[in-house]
Structure 1
């Protein structure tokens, strides 16, 4: 058994049945990291191997602690983990070692996972390109000269290269879906509120970012989703959707799938991306679903203006306490901070009114469709030295993140969304597309993904 490509479910079942020990899984994990992480730079702040093996040994001799018993997981470096450097990719926090786990880390630890270290991120998670002054850049395993995406880039690369079987990510503007697409793995953005955020600061106003699972198959996504989901009594909002695991492939016959393509020409794409996604739509048709093109249901520019206002407001709120250290922040963080602090209350209110209008429009649309589909990225993985794309197919980008606009219709209104792999382009680089549904349809979206995965198994394939 090649443990580096074994699913999390299979590893956990083997540990539970005594066919594998947690120590054997940990040894294989450490050997794989030693082999590939030097070039990939996906896992950072790795704990001492002897300590990790001792923790695994204690799990082997103790009672089963939960659904992740004995599984090594590297936690995204935007999350505080007790005893592990938690830098957020910022020189300001390069030596920060928390004494307490953030909520998501505590839930994974309580479920029996061994938290081995961190996965690399952009500074404060800003921008879908994983590089920072603390650890450097994480490289795409399909072409080391290209970006792996971000902000969950380290997590995606760790999965793609077999260093871990399961990973946590987070997603505001596509930070989980974009790197999943660019690394030939799956990433799931849950319904907003299903996975609680850290109970700190404001708990009412900001509803854009969410934590979520990443894996090499939808079944593993459901496993981690259930571990990190559920209400936290210190937070006012939560989604009471039923458990997602075990994820079982649905019968696609008669399923109504809507293809939004380039939103009526509103979103520019590099050559080959839309074509690859259209080929993937054929899989849905072959499985019995009815796939039809959808006329853009809402003005794209209104969605963008609402999003960019609410995002700047949210990011600036998160960075506000670092205002006096502004010069130490990267340029895009400074831009977000300045823009967010300049907003008026009425500008934020009007942006949220547009968000509410788009939510109502989408709810009506889902009366006619079981799921909608968009590409997961507008560009192929770009050169690792490039901070961000400034144009797409001749269309100039007016912000550092406009090139990710295809993610925004989902992100703005907190819909559950699965990024599924769709294969490889002419240069052998991976791509993906987003399958999303109404709030609360998380389990159904994952079951659609499971049926698609059974028919394609892209993470187990390589480009010619």
Structure 2
């Protein structure tokens, strides 16, 4: 069974469909792994009853497969509503909430045959790239239990690294797929905005910064899960056609032109070793036939940041205003979320319009950049995994961070205009901590980004070459202050 835990999701799916392994065997191995590891890592939360899970798996042993995920244990991110299974958004306000219906993402993965076993841990309201909350505590990095697994898809990334998940869903507004993937030596893909649709709740016209997407230990798994998640939701605007991301996945990189943006001309402070790790990854791409060219900053970083925080605050104020207006809810809401909402409530229409103009200008600049390059590369994070008892890194390379999320500045260029971006592992620090780099493509070129990642994965196989050592002891998750 240990071998099955190391399989990719694609290998496991093929074996289940060929009836070489039964879903009940897979579930038994999964439950044993969770029992052995999750106490230390704290990635899987709201775990369903093991007997019920085994019964569900046995019922699938002789059933005709429904889809690619048939019989595969799957934990859904706790920002996604799951029918009959507690969903909290990491907030004590919702600590006992059990939805009566699935969000569209959960429904699609369930329809593809996944056995929903529990949820993956997140920061409160998904805000801040460190997965801790007052209900479930801190998710820890499987490579060092004293370090953060990132966020907001920290539970998903840690679960993948610790072999408690074969494949996982995540979401990404400000690096929430990419940062934890880099921290945990796995892959996280932010698709072109609109490829994975939103649910028809609240605003769906202005809310174009965040998207859901796939995570995995291989790029093939990421591509296959994307095809489960993607596809039009007729109840929301801006549909995007689903590309064929599989047929050209192994196309190779010969002649591909890649721009290296490094630290954006010094605008993004980096901890020592981050850029060097990415440059080692770029050398792999060059060895595979790509042409890598260092680039100067294509747009003022401070303008991107100003547009980003303005639009983000506007959306937070619009969607979460009740959290500050209701004293009881405010008392149960973390200060970073209150700050976001209050920033948004103080905005003028002129400020929001100016932010949208900056966003529009960056989109035009990026389009011209992608006429010259097939992809550009940036680090996935500006820091190595930091101590798990921090709320966030307050300083990088001697530069003070002026907000709780300023240390994630490097993800903003892709997020602001909805570009596809794949975080790929690039190796480890001398202390054994993982890092990653973003491969970013033009809007709509999800297939090209994934093909670049596939060639890189076949040459490196970092998740397979360097799995975490088994967690040998339980670490009590403290409250983060």
Instruction: Using structure 2 for the length normalisation, give the TM-score.
Output: 0.95
Consecutive unaligned residues of structure 2, counting only runs of 5 or more, are: 470-481
Q: CA deviation at 1:276?
A: 0.8
**Number of the residue aligned with 1:307:** 308
User: Which stretch has the larger CA shift, 401-410 or 234-243?
Assistant: 234-243
Q: How does 1:102-251 map to 2 (within 5 A)?
A: 102-245=103-246, 248-251=249-252
Q: Provide the C-alpha distance between the structure 1 equivalents of 2:235 and 2:214, rounded to a whole number of angstroms.
A: 22
User: 2:158 and 2:107 mapped to 1: Cα distance?
Assistant: 23
Q: Which residue of 2 aligns with 1:356?
A: 360
Tell me, yes or no, if structure 1 residue 282 matches structure 2 residue 289. no
Cα displacement (A) at 1:243: 3.0
Aligned 8 A contact 1:219 1:246 in 2: no
Q: Is the 8 A contact 1:170 1:176 kept in 2?
A: yes
Deviation of 1:246 (Å):
5.4
Deviation at 1:28, TM superposition (A): 0.9
8 Å contact from structure 1 (residues 193, 210) kept in 2 = yes
Matched position secondary structure for 1:438: coil
Contact kept? 1:226, 1:245, Cα under 8 Å: no
Quote the residue 1:403 is aligned against.
Answer: 407
- Name the structure 1 match of 2:476: none
Give the whole-Å Cα distance in 1 for the aligned partners of 2:322 and 2:214.
29
Matches within 5 A, 1:53-132: 53-132=54-133
The SS at the match of 1:144 is: strand
Q: For residue 308 of structure 1, give the secondary structure of its aligned residue in structure 2.
A: helix
Tell me the equivalent position of 1:451.
455
Q: Spell out, residue by residue over 1:256-307, the C-alpha distance to the aligned partner (whole angstroms, 9 max, x if none).
A: 0100000011110000110111111100110111101011110010000000
Assess if the C-alpha contact under 8 Å between 1:303 and 1:409 holds in 2: yes
Q: Counterpart in 2 of 1:377?
A: 381
Where in structure 2 are the equivalents of 1:418-433 lying within 5 Å? 418-433=422-437
- Root-mean-square deviation (CA), in Å? 1.1
1:44 corresponds to: 45
344-353 vs 120-129, which moves further: 344-353
Match of 1:338 among 335, 342, 358: 342
Equivalent position SS for 1:61: coil
Structure 1 stretch displaced more, 339-348 or 107-116: 339-348
Matched residues in 1 for 2:61 and 2:97: separation?
Answer: 31
Identify the match of residue 392 of structure 2 among 388, 409, 420.
388
Paired positions, count: 464
* Separation in 2, partners of 1:247, 1:32: 35
Measure the CA separation in 2 of the matches of 1:51 and 1:345.
52
Q: C-alpha distance in 1, partners of 2:340/2:275?
A: 30
Q: Is contact 2:249–2:447 with CA below 8 Å preserved after alignment? A: no
- Uncovered stretches (5+) of structure 1, i.e. residues with no partner: none
SS at match of 1:366: helix
Q: Which residue of 2 aligns with 1:460?
A: 464
**Aligned partner of residue 378 in structure 1, secondary structure:** coil
Please give the alpha-carbon distance, in whole angstroms, between the structure 2 residues aligned to 1:303 and 1:288.
Answer: 32
Contact 2:230 2:242 in 1 (8 A): no
Alpha-carbon contact 1:372-1:437 (below 8 Å) kept: yes
Q: C-alpha distance in 1, partners of 2:170/2:412?
A: 17
Q: Deviations over 1:136-185 (max 9, x none)?
A: 00101111111110000000000000001000000000011000000000
One of 432, 435, 439 as aligned partner of 2:439: 435
2:130–2:391 CA contact under 8 A, matched in 1: yes
Give the TM-score normalised by the residue count of structure 1: 0.98
Pairwise CA distance, 1:247: 6.3
Secondary structure of the corresponding residue to residue 74 of structure 2: strand
Q: C-alpha distance in 2, partners of 1:308/1:249?
A: 38
